[in-house]
Amino acid sequence: MKRFKIIVLLLGIALLPIRGFAQDTDTELPNIKILATGGTIAGSAASATSGSYSAGQIGIQTMINAVPGIKKIADVSGEQVSNVGSQDMTVEIWLKLANRINELLASDDVDGIVVTHGTDTQEETAYFLSLVVKSDKPVVTTGSMRSSTSISAEGPLNLYNAVAIAADENAKGKGVMLSLNDQIHNARDVSKMNTTNVNSFASPIKGMLGGVFYGRLGFFREPNTKFGKTSEFSVTGITKLPRVDIIYAYTDMSPDLIDMHVKAGAEGIVIAGVGNGNMTEATLKAAKKAYEDHGVIIVRSTRVATGWVLRDNEFKDDDYHTVVSGDLNPAKARILLMLSLSKGKKLTEMQQLFDTY
Note the residues at the interface with ligand ASP (CB under 6 A).
39-40, 55, 85-87, 118-120, 143, 145
C-alpha to C-alpha distance for 200 and 219, rounded to whole angstroms? 20
Pick 195 or 224: Cβ nearer ligand ASP:
195
Pick 118 or 223: Cβ nearer ligand ASP:
118
E strand or H helix at 183: strand 183-186
Q: Are 74 and 33 in contact (CB under 8 A)?
A: no
Shortest distance in whole angstroms from residue 43 CB to ligand ASP = 7
Shortest distance in whole angstroms from residue 39 CB to ligand ASP = 4
C-alpha to C-alpha distance for 5 and 317, rounded to whole angstroms? 84
Contact partners, residue 291, CB within 8 Å, separation at least 6: 297, 298, 321, 347
Pick 119 or 231: Cβ nearer ligand ASP:
119
β partners of residue 34: 78, 114
Q: Which residue is nearest to ligand ASP (CB)?
A: 118
Shortest distance in whole angstroms from residue 41 CB to ligand ASP = 6
Shortest distance in whole angstroms from residue 296 CB to ligand ASP = 30
- DSSP secondary-structure letter at 54? B
**Over the range 180-194, which residues count as b (16 or more CB within 10 Å of their CB) and which as e?**
bbbbbbbbbbbbbee
C-alpha to C-alpha distance for 106 and 123, rounded to whole angstroms? 24
Contact partners, residue 69, CB within 8 Å, separation at least 6: 160
Shortest distance in whole angstroms from residue 83 CB to ligand ASP = 10
Catalytic residues: 40
Pick 60 or 266: Cβ nearer ligand ASP:
60
- DSSP secondary-structure letter at 8? H
